[in-house]
């Protein structure tokens, strides 16, 4: 009985994510969500007392997947900056493959400031970006404390604190654009190429042109399987 209840709950969260993503929080109805999940409205209300509760469950799933992805990247042994690059590729892929991710972004934007909202996926994503960038700074990957050689920091007249603030703002603004680009209907392949191009432009400003070649800007390729090239996203949780 418990297992069946959990399966029903997972179907409802998945259906809710699909409809919140496609129709928006305001337009998606609980009746449509129950129908898409193949359950009655009574079964839906057994698990979720309101649409707010269901939307919160969708965002909790998105936040959990994000935490699992970052934990996997940190455990893989890559540097913090490479982990950040890989996290943006994880986002690009899951925006296409996991409905809870685009739905969580949309719920955050449509319900921001709502008193009943307990989760904030967009805030969690920005905090993750900031944390990984701060780790890169603290481990010496970002030469913010002095000239960056041919990276352009020398002679800019900025203090290390000002350079850090500029770098954090630049990266945060850039990576938030990944979700916006996904919403324009780009295929995953197109979005993946744009994310790689984004880092091709950002890295020289962050670490200097001489060091930018040390980082992999594209998604990490896994061995081909059956003639189809798969892509490995560490810790994706999907």
Q: Are 10 and 43 in contact (CB under 8 A)?
A: no
Residue 225 phi/psi, 5-degree rounding, is: -130, 110
Q: What is the DSSP string of 100-145?
A: HHHHHHHHHHHHTT-TT----HHHHHHHHHHHHHHHHHHTT-S-TT
Q: How much is the average pLDDT of 172-185?
A: 92
How far apart are alpha carbons 219 and 157 in whole angstroms?
A: 35
Residues 38-55: pLDDT tens digits?
A: 999 999 999 999 999 999
What was the pLDDT predicted at 197?
Answer: 97
What are the tokens at 189? 């392949």
What was the pLDDT predicted at 187?
Answer: 95
How far apart are alpha carbons 98 and 186 in whole angstroms?
A: 16
Place of tokens 């296409």: 96
How far apart are alpha carbons 178 and 90 in whole angstroms?
A: 11
Provide the β-strand partners of residue 113. Answer: none
pTM of the model: 0.85
């Amino acid at each position: 009985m418990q297992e069946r209840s959990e399966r029903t709950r997972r179907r409802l969260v998945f259906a809710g994510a699909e409809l919140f993503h496609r129709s928006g929080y305001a337009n998606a109805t609980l009746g449509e969500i129950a129908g898409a999940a193949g359950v009655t409205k009574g079964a839906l209300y057994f698990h979720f007392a309101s649409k707010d509760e269901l939307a919160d469950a969708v965002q909790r799933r998105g936040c959990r997947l994000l935490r699992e992805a970052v934990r996997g990247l940190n455990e893989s042994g890559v540097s913090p900056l490479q982990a950040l690059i890989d996290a943006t590729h994880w986002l690009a892929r899951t925006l296409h493959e996991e409905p809870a991710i685009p739905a969580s972004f949309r719920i955050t934007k449509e319900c921001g400031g709502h008193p009943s909202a307990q989760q904030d996926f967009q805030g969690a994503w920005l905090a993750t970006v900031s944390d990984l960038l701060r780790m890169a700074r603290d481990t010496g990957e970002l030469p913010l404390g002095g000239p960056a050689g041919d990276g352009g920091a020398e002679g800019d007249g900025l203090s290390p604190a000002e350079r850090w603030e500029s770098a954090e703002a630049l990266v945060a603004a850039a990576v938030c654009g990944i979700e916006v680009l996904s919403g324009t209907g780009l295929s995953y392949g197109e979005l993946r190429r744009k994310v790689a191009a984004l880092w091709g432009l950002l890295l020289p400003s962050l670490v200097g042109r001489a060091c930018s070649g040390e980082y992999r800007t594209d998604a990490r390729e896994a061995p081909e399987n059956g003639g189809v090239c798969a892509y490995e996203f560490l810790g994706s949780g999907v």
